[in-house]
Structure 1
Amino acid sequence: MPRCAGCQSLERHRIFRVMFDTLGTDGFADWKAIQFSPDATVDPSWFASHELSVYGEPGGLDIQAIDKPDAAYDIAICSHVIEHVGDDRKALHELLRIVKPEGMLYLAFPDPFREEVTRDWGFPKPEKHGHWRVYGSDVVKRFAAYIPDQPVLAYRGEDPVTGEWEGAFLLPRSAARYRWIVERLGSSVSLFSGPKA
């Protein structure tokens, strides 16, 4: 994949960096963040505090049972992790549990808009980098079943370098945060699942 020679970013990192820039990273100055992978999409300096958790490393957390209190963070950043866990329902509930009522969850996984149907093997497949599943566009059904009362906003963006497109999801915890996202991202974001806030 096209990787930046300077910062080592991939297409998805650049695509979602544009999304965060459009949201306005200066708005995160007093936010407490937790990130569940060393992903180059966000810059820790945007936040008042930033924790990095890498599963299997010292201090790393299991997103299926996050050892953190309720509403501990303004934003949880989970990029290319959820496809690696056995119970994605538990993981979604845990990620949302630790986000403050006015905060949001940023969730990305290999682009589900390229596949129609989710392929879930029920075990971590070695030849798929330990993925338990590859999500398809029918992930909307999982969201509807797992978190029916949670709005899920889909973002689609273009890599400014290669022109490739990819998608991610923003899960606002309040109606005010929902409106804040929609006002800033405009037509590049749409309601994917759950109620309109």
Structure 2
Amino acid sequence: MKKLFKLILNIIPRPLLIRLSYVARPILAFFLKGNRYTDPIDGKSFKSFLSYGYEKQRDNVLSPSTLSLERHRLLWLYLKNETDFFSETIKRKSVLHFAPEQCFLKRFRALKNINYTTTDLLSPIADVKADICNLPFEDNSYDVILCNHVLEHIPDDTKAMQELYRVLRPGGMGIFQIPQDLLRTHTFEDDTITDKAERANIFGQYDHVRVYGQDYFDKLRSIGFTVKEVDYTATLSAEAIKKYCLAKGEIIPVVYK
């Protein structure tokens, strides 16, 4: 099964994968029903989660019901417990969400306290087709920007960060998660590596162009953002981390303008 999942991820284009997943999700959820692990996004429990990974497969990480990964469940818990993202008692917020994840899409669209816009260059489920390096939005347009596991795909990530800064309102908040190797001091990139198999081996996925290191946070600061490096799993119990299948030590980069 793990080999099959890896083959599917690397052969089928992501837009088609997104469409096919709507069919596969209820079937997978039915056969994996149980009570050992829980997806906090929808509250459903399973005897196990699925393996996932373009290069190295990670066991027990993909929720059968929402198709959330460790980072999605961690972000959900952080937004729910530590922010006013879901609060209906505050002023309505304008939210921009890049490459919207299926596990969030319907739930965020249903919120009455936000004006919600999704954008991506290729995703079939995004509202606005746009290049992150040349966004069609006015300056200071959004109170909240979610841009997670996007920047590692972008050759000119400096320009992308500048655009994110431009459209975020003063006082606004963004969450810009990326796959990160915290053992690296400096980000590694090499645009001469074009072979997909070599990219997957070096960068972890065939369509990634870099591996971010500890300097990622300082690069965001150089653009003008104030950055809070949140190790949210450090605040959770061992039981919660196990129950929700989270990855210890993943840093949530929370940025402010």
Please indicate the TM-score interval, normalised by the length of the shorter structure: 0.7 to 0.9
SS in 2 for 1:131: coil
Deviation at 1:82?
0.6
What does the per-residue CA deviation read over 1:51-72, in whole Å, with 9 as the maximum and x for residues that have no partner?
1112125732111111110011
CA distance in 2, matches of 1:3, 1:29: 34
SS in 2 for 1:13: helix
Identity across matched positions, percent = 23
* Paired amino acid for 1:8: L
2:72 alignment partner in structure 1: 13
Moved over 3 A (4+): 40-43, 114-117
Q: 1:80 to 1:120 in 2, by over 3 A?
A: same
SS in 1 for 2:171: strand
1:129 to 203, 206, 216: 206
2:118 alignment partner in structure 1: 52
Contact 1:115 1:136 in 2 (8 A): yes
Deviation at 1:150?
2.5
1:168 alignment partner in structure 2: 252
What does the per-residue CA deviation read over 1:151-192, in whole Å, with 9 as the maximum and x for residues that have no partner?
11111123452352211211112xxxxxxxxxxxxxxxxxxx
SS in 1 for 2:174: strand
1:115-126 map, 5 Å: 115-122=184-191, 125=194, 126=196
Deviation at 1:114?
4.9
SS in 2 for 1:20: helix
* Paired amino acid for 1:51: T
Deviation at 1:8?
1.5
CA distance in 1, matches of 2:254, 2:245: 24
1:1-197 map, 5 Å: 1=58, 2-22=61-81, 23-24=83-84, 25-26=86-87, 30-39=92-101, 40=103, 43-44=107-108, 45-46=110-111, 47-57=113-123, 59-122=128-191, 125=194, 126=196, 127=200, 128-144=205-221, 146-147=222-223, 149-158=224-233, 159=241, 160-165=243-248, 166-173=250-257
CA distance in 1, matches of 2:208, 2:162: 19
Using the size of structure 2 for normalisation, the TM-score is: 0.60
* Paired amino acid for 1:26: S
Contact 2:120 2:132 in 1 (8 A): no
| Number of aligned residue pairs | 171
Q: Unmatched 5+ residue regions in structure 2?
A: 1-57, 234-240
SS in 1 for 2:172: strand
Q: 1:20 to 1:8 in 2, by over 3 A?
A: same
Using the size of structure 1 for normalisation, the TM-score is: 0.76
* Paired amino acid for 2:244: V
RMSD across aligned positions (CA)? 2.4
CA distance in 2, matches of 1:95, 1:124: 27
CA distance in 1, matches of 2:114, 2:160: 25
- Identify, as 1 or 2, the structure richer in strand: 1
CA distance in 2, matches of 1:163, 1:62: 31
